[in-house]
């Protein structure tokens, strides 16, 4: 049937060939993201989840989680409000979170030395600085590798709007990427002209074409993983759990609570996914790079974060899911306290903030503090590695458990970080 010997193709060529064959021969579009569904088995115990709200572009800590009302020079036009927690103030844009401050804790003493967006995002998501010789896995693949799979049919890790890949862990730990939460997981319906029996026959035919190669590559995880991929993809296509990706099934009141924005829809989809057995969901919310006119641009952005985060935490709590779901809000670094000539704030890695709620996190706390200008960390310094070690510990994982790459090098999810004891 084919004018060449399929078994002689290298891995990259074979992967492209199999993808093309699946689309043309099987009569159904198996999206590239479905190639990411092979995963480890669950280790048992109570399933724990993570919803990571990542503020891409470097969110200003002064205008959100670490205001300095006594220093008008750095605080600028952003007002300050009290919260339900004594001694915890937030910017005026965080009114929703202020009402539920007992349910989360703030880490105001995060610090890094990386002040460029891409390397800083990579560090935040992997615990490692980028190097040319290896690609490190993101937190989602790490959690999947250490904790395993929960749902038989749904993928363990989903990224809505971006994130870091599986790195050296391999394609079987790659997250399923989604662009538009409104559209969910697309192209999952078998064409009307193709019966289930005919579909199964085409799968069998496809497998027979490749039998010789499979025998020769039986010990190669890079190859056998693709057999698992097709099994998982087909099972998902036929699963009732696909409805977890469909937020149109949510009541209008719930959609309104999260907001009519893509970020709000993403967080609502994240709740649906963890509710149905997805272990780790990252929702990216961008455009925080406020070098210009920050006091006119940050209010709407911060208010949207406040609405979505407070709705998510409250929704999880009401459903009894907050104890088993860790909610994280973070960014790659902070923004300079001093206003620049363009009425904005420039990059500032020396100090920034993160929020943690749910799972084993003790709520109603402020960890660490910055100086009077929010320029440097004054107390209880926390590195990125410490923050990620805290995330791992909060969901019951060993932050120092070693996994070796294919080259034999040992790595951990926290890269030597230490969990923040007051939180977990």
pLDDT tens figures, 263-301: 999 999 999 999 999 999 999 999 999 999 999 999 999
**39 band by pLDDT with thresholds 50, 70 and 90:** very low
Degrees, nearest 5: CA angle 359-365-369: 125
Render 204-266 in DSSP notation, one character per residue. Answer: HHHHHHTHHHHHHTTT-HHHHHHHHHHHHHHHHHT-GGGGGG-GGGS-HHHHHHH-SSHHHHH
How many whole angstroms separate alpha carbon 256 and alpha carbon 167? 37
How many whole angstroms separate alpha carbon 196 and alpha carbon 72? 67
Mind listing the pLDDT tens digit for each residue in 158-206?
999 999 999 999 988 999 999 999 998 866 555 555 556 665 666 666 6
CA atoms within 13 A on the CB side of 414: 22
pLDDT at 201 (0 to 100):
65
Nearest to 368 by CA among 360, 358, 356: 356
Provide the 10 A C-beta neighbour count for residue 383: 20
- pLDDT > 60? residue 336: yes
**174 or 235, which is more confident:** 174
CA atoms within 13 A on the CB side of 399: 21
Mind listing the pLDDT tens digit for each residue in 389-407?
999 999 999 999 999 998 9
How many whole angstroms separate alpha carbon 101 and alpha carbon 86? 10
Between 143-147, 238-242, 370-374, the lowest mean confidence (pLDDT) is in 238-242
**330 or 224, which is more confident:** 330
Percent of the chain with pLDDT over 70: 77
- pLDDT > 70? residue 235: no
Into which CATH architecture does domain 33-69+99-411 fall?
3-Layer(aba) Sandwich (3.40)
- pLDDT > 50? residue 21: no
Strand 325-331 and strand 49-55: pairing? parallel
Instruction: Kindly report the pTM of this predicted structure.
Output: 0.83
Degrees, nearest 5: CA angle 335-338-341: 100
pLDDT at 46 (0 to 100):
78
Percent of the chain with pLDDT over 90: 74
- pLDDT > 90? residue 422: yes
- Non-local (6+) Cβ contacts of 60 within 8 A are 288, 290, 294, 298, 334, 335, 345
pLDDT at 199 (0 to 100):
58
State the average pLDDT over residues 52-60: 98
pLDDT at 282 (0 to 100):
98
Q: Which residue has the tokens 């893509």?
A: 262
How many whole angstroms separate alpha carbon 305 and alpha carbon 287? 12
**31 or 410, which is more confident:** 410
- Non-local (6+) Cβ contacts of 43 within 8 A are 147, 148
- pLDDT > 50? residue 90: yes
How many whole angstroms separate alpha carbon 153 and alpha carbon 241? 7
How many whole angstroms separate alpha carbon 188 and alpha carbon 202? 17
How many whole angstroms separate alpha carbon 100 and alpha carbon 314? 8
- pLDDT > 70? residue 348: yes
Contact 267, 250 (CB under 8 A): no
DSSP 350: T
- pLDDT > 70? residue 83: yes
* Contacts for 411-414: CB closer than 8 Å, 24+ residues apart: 411/128, 411/136, 411/168, 412/127, 413/127, 413/139, 413/142, 413/143, 413/146, 413/388, 413/389, 414/127, 414/385, 414/386, 414/388, 414/389
Average pLDDT, the chain: 86
Q: For the chain, what are the domain ranges?
A: 33-69+99-411
pLDDT at 240 (0 to 100):
81
């Amino acid at each position: 049937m084919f004018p060449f010997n399929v078994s002689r193709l290298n891995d990259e060529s074979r992967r492209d060939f199999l993808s093309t064959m699946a689309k043309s021969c099987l009569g159904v579009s198996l999206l590239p993201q479905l190639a990411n569904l092979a995963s480890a088995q669950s280790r048992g115990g109570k399933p724990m989840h993570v919803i990571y709200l990542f503020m891409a572009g470097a969110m200003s800590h002064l205008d959100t989680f670490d205001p300095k009302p006594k220093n008008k020079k750095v605080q600028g036009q952003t007002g300050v409000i009290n919260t339900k927690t004594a001694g915890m103030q937030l910017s005026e844009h965080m009114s929703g979170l202020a009402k539920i401050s007992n349910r989360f804790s703030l880490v105001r003493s995060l610090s890094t030395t990386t002040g460029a967006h891409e390397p800083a995002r990579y560090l935040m998501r992997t615990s490692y600085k980028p190097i040319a010789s290896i690609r490190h896995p993101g937190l989602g693949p790490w959690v999947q590798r250490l904790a395993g799979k929960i749902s038989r049919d749904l993928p363990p890790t989903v990224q809505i709007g971006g994130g870091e890949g599986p790195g050296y862990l391999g394609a079987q730990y790659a997250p399923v990427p989604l662009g538009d939460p409104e559209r969910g997981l697309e192209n999952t319906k078998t064409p009307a002209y193709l019966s289930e029996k005919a579909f199964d026959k085409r799968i069998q035919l496809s497998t027979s074409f490749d039998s010789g190669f499979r025998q020769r590559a039986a010990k190669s995880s890079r190859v056998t993983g693709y057999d698992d991929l097709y099994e998982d993809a087909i099972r998902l296509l036929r699963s009732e759990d696909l409805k977890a990706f469909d937020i149109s099934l949510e009541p209008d009141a719930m959609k309104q609570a999260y907001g009519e924005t893509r970020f709000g829809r993403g967080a609502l989809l994240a709740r649906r996914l963890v509710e149905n057995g997805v272990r780790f969901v990252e929702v990216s919310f961008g455009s925080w790079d406020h070098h210009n006119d920050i006091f006119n641009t940050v209010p709407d952005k911060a208010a949207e974060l406040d609405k979505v985060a407070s709705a998510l935490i409250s929704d999880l709590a009401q459903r009894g899911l907050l104890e088993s779901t860790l909610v994280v809000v973070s960014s790659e670094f902070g923004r300079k306290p001093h206003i620049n000539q363009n009425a904005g704030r420039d990059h500032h890695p020396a100090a920034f903030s993160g929020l943690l709620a749910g799972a084993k996190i003790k709520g109603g706390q402020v960890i660490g503090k910055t100086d009077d200008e929010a320029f440097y960390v004054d107390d209880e310094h926390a590195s990125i590695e410490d923050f990620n070690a805290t995330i791992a510990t909060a969901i019951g994982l060993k932050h120092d458990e070693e996994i070796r790459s294919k080259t034999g090098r040992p790595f951990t999810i926290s890269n030597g970080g230490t969990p923040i004891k007051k939180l977990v």
